[in-house]
Structure 1
Amino acid sequence: MANMKGRRRFGNVRKRASGRFQARYIGPDGIERTAPHTFETEKQAEKWLTIIESEIIKGDWTAPEAGEVQLDEYGRKWIAERKLQPRTRENYEDLFRLRIRPHLGKLALGAIKPQTIRSWRKTLLDGGTPEPQAVKAYSLLRAILNTAVKEDEIIRQNPCRIKGFDRYHTPERSVATVAQVYKLAEAMPPRFSALVLVAAFSGLRWGELAALRRCDVDLDAAVVRVPRKLAALRDRMEFGPPKSEAGNRSVTLPAAALVALRPHLKEHVGDEPQALVFTGEKGALLRGGNFGRAVKWTETVKAVGLPDGFHFHDLRHTGNNLAASTGASTRDLMHRMGHASMRAALIYQHANSERDREIAAGMDKRIARERPKARKRKKAG
């Protein structure tokens, strides 16, 4: 559109009765918009229009009013519409309700800047929020605003781009030795002994173990299938698919796990194919809290020599470390652990210094065999 003097190809400038200049333009969406303020000179108004035109050409333009959408409304809608596992959805809802909404909910998306994020994080930490929770809240907010940038094109840049805010130091978790695993299993009530051994030697997660059915166990092939998991939600227990596609897998059990599993199936599991392999004391669904109380987990862990804070999930680390010590490839570990990314598998490989020593010893033997040959060839020459 030309201006009143017919000189501009984009937008127009007119002089108001006040003597100041107003700039207007038609956006890519066909709607005419006026600059948010007037200008002292015509040249300033034209310069502003040139900037807007450049943004449109480069694809950086967003509707000015789009950034006025409040984070509260946008964030809650993002969580509701996202394809998420039920447990993950509840975790996101809690994070948003407790850590994000009270501090940033009333802000327009376009008003959230990196400095806003820095102040928000400091407020969380100063208020006693544990750093892992602050990191999770930051990561959730970053994901929400990424959608606002890349998919909905409401804002131009994601303010959650601050180095280091998405990480925190995680103390290395305890790894039970094989001897400690057996001590722990022996200290359990009989119906939970096999649960401990299978957890340690298969690497299955708690929810995967709780969802195992008799039809998933093939004792002859020494294999368990993992087609589902059991999740404890706010108001119910729910069976669902594994955490990711990689989680839907078959895991071969070592003989030590089979030795424990065979009698367990006979004594504690119904004959029907859909019978759950591991249940509570009265045959109910296995719940973490009820299990902990039934076996007096904290006291029992201490009695067998494991450190304070040792969790049931830490048994999985024993199995994964044992698997890594065999020289399993990264791909093999990913499959066994049910991980879609290499990150966790690489951690177990790097942590296994014993296997690295075995490799170095093997190299030494090869070097010792080859070195005399090289000397003989040198003398012959």
Structure 2
Amino acid sequence: MQKKAHDRIVDTGKEYHVDAYSEHKDIQTQFKVFFNLALFCGLRRGELVALEWSDFDFDQNTVSISKSTSIIDGQLFTKPPKTESSNRLISVPASIMAQVKLYREEQLEYRMNIGSAWEDGNHLFTQWNGRQMYPSTPYGMFKKIIRWHNESVTKEEYKLPEIPLHGLRHTSATLLISQNVDIRTVSGRLGHAQTSTTTDIYSHFLQKADEAASNTLENLFHIKVK
């Protein structure tokens, strides 16, 4: 991240100048994996936090969604989804699955390094000692990444909007709709009980897709008004 030249004042009141410099911000691999799965698979935060390594099929490039984690009375609680449709098998892009594999190797190495401090578990996303990650943790990192990026650019058009973490799931859906993926497939990936839920939430983007379809037909037949 590029920092601009600026002046600082120390506690004694003395002022000094700091030249422009680059500051590197590290993002843990598990957060990169978390955000990519949210974007490319349209998963809910609770579904992501609940993921275990056994949910992945690395031969078929799929992930099984069968549970969700929430906080009840300050404690983590994992349970099956409310609706049967939320239990689903989702195809994961090969590039993202490759990242998941690398993260698994990194986590195994880390586990060996800290030895008995690791509290045995099978979760993807963890605290430093292997315990399951709290759902609030990735949101805090997501906000930091947006802030870091916005501080590193000077032009307003290059800055990212302050969207919630759930916005990655919405982005996944709207991008699929914009690419004319049928609504049943989009609804299935999101885990909606009915396609009507999907159409209600994304009606505006569906209208845009319909307009694009209309224009495609017009261009296909080269219709001209005389």
1:190: Cα distance to partner?
A: 2.6
1:365: Cα distance to partner?
A: 3.7
Alignment check: 8 A CA contact 2:38 2:48 kept:
yes
Task: Provide the secondary structure at the position in 2 that maps to 1:242.
Answer: coil
Q: Note the aligned Cα RMSD (angstroms).
A: 2.8
Alignment check: 8 A CA contact 1:201 1:318 kept:
no
Correspondence 1:223 to 2:76:
no
Correspondence 1:330 to 2:169:
no
Distance in 2 (alpha carbons) for counterparts of 1:363 and 1:214: 46
The percentage of aligned residue pairs carrying the same residue is: 25
Task: Provide the secondary structure at the position in 2 that maps to 1:303.
Answer: helix
The within-5 A match list for 1:75-86 is: none
Which residue in the other structure is 1:234 paired with?
73
Task: Provide the secondary structure at the position in 1 that maps to 2:202.
Answer: helix
- Higher relative contact order by CA 8 Å / sep ≥ 6: 1 or 2? 2
TM-score relative to the length of structure 1: 0.42
1:341: Cα distance to partner?
A: 2.7
Aligned pair partner of 2:48 in 186, 203, 209: 209
TM-score relative to the length of structure 2: 0.68
Q: How many residues align?
A: 180
Return 5+ residue gaps in structure 2 as ranges.
1-24, 112-120, 150-158
The within-5 A match list for 1:135-150 is: none
The structure with the largest helix share of the pair is: 1
1:195: Cα distance to partner?
A: 0.9
Alignment check: 8 A CA contact 1:187 1:300 kept:
no
Alignment check: 8 A CA contact 2:46 2:135 kept:
no
Distance in 2 (alpha carbons) for counterparts of 1:284 and 1:266: 18
Which consecutive aligned stretches of 4+ in structure 1 deviate over 6 angstroms post-superposition?
Answer: none
Larger Rg belongs to: 1
Correspondence 1:362 to 2:216:
yes
Which residue in the other structure is 2:174 paired with?
321
Aligned pair partner of 2:205 in 333, 347, 351: 351
Task: Provide the secondary structure at the position in 2 that maps to 1:302.
Answer: helix
Return 5+ residue gaps in structure 1 as ranges.
1-185, 372-381
Name which of structure 1's ranges 329-338 and 221-230 shifts more when overlaid on structure 2.
Answer: 329-338
The within-5 A match list for 1:1-381 is: 188-268=27-107, 275-293=122-140, 295=141, 297-304=142-149, 305-308=159-162, 310-346=163-199, 347-348=201-202, 350-352=204-206, 355-356=209-210, 358-368=212-222
Distance in 2 (alpha carbons) for counterparts of 1:358 and 1:292: 34
1:352: Cα distance to partner?
A: 4.9
Distance in 1 (alpha carbons) for counterparts of 2:26 and 2:205: 29
